[in-house]
Amino acid sequence: MTRIVVMGVSGCGKSTVGALLAVRLGVPFVDADDLHPPANVAKMAAGIPLTDDDRWPWLRLVGAELASASDGLVVACSALRYAYRDVLRSFVPDVYFVHLAGPREVLASRLSHRVHHFMPLALLDSQLSTLEPLRADELGVTLDLTLPADELARRAVDSLGHP
């Protein structure tokens, strides 16, 4: 059973790549943004970064969603810090992370062209300063977000060793 978190800062393509990856693997897709409580969404929409106290309950919801997916699941979730990924691993020890990483300029351009999303460009630098790249002891792969989404999904599948 494959349970994957497509991670990274806002604007990196988590939702797009995650949905494509889920189709390739034949498993459901969940956007963790949809699991945020209204108070978190309101804070972010107002340009106020979330605190760890805001994030812990949300991360536990994401972890529970992963754990309940008996046939596999792909989740788009920022999972910016090692400690946040530890929460997810506490639910699913073998969760696999696909980190979409790339230049700030590309991220800023993407965010400035977004419509109907609660995460403003103003929070990008806060997210980048919070981001802790995958460590050697974590299951996962880091991919260049400037590649086309289909290519990123293909490379993610390849990194898993699936056909």
Please report whether residue 16 resides in a domain: yes
Q: What is the pLDDT of residues 34-91, one digit of tens each?
A: 998 899 888 877 878 778 899 899 999 999 999 999 899 999 999 999 999 999 999 9
Domain-located, residue 62: yes
Rounded to 10°, the helix 149-160/14-25 angle is 50
Contact 11, 124 (CB under 8 A): yes
CATH for 146: 3.40.50.300
Closest CA to 19 of 100, 71, 75: 75
136 located within any domain: yes
CA count, 13 A, side-chain hemisphere, 101? 14
- Please give the residue range of the domain that contains residue 108: 6-157
Domains identified in the chain, total number: 1
What pTM, to 2 d.p., does this model score? 0.88
Q: Rounded to whole angstroms, how far apart are CA atoms 119 and 33?
A: 10
Whether residue 162 lies inside any domain: the answer is no
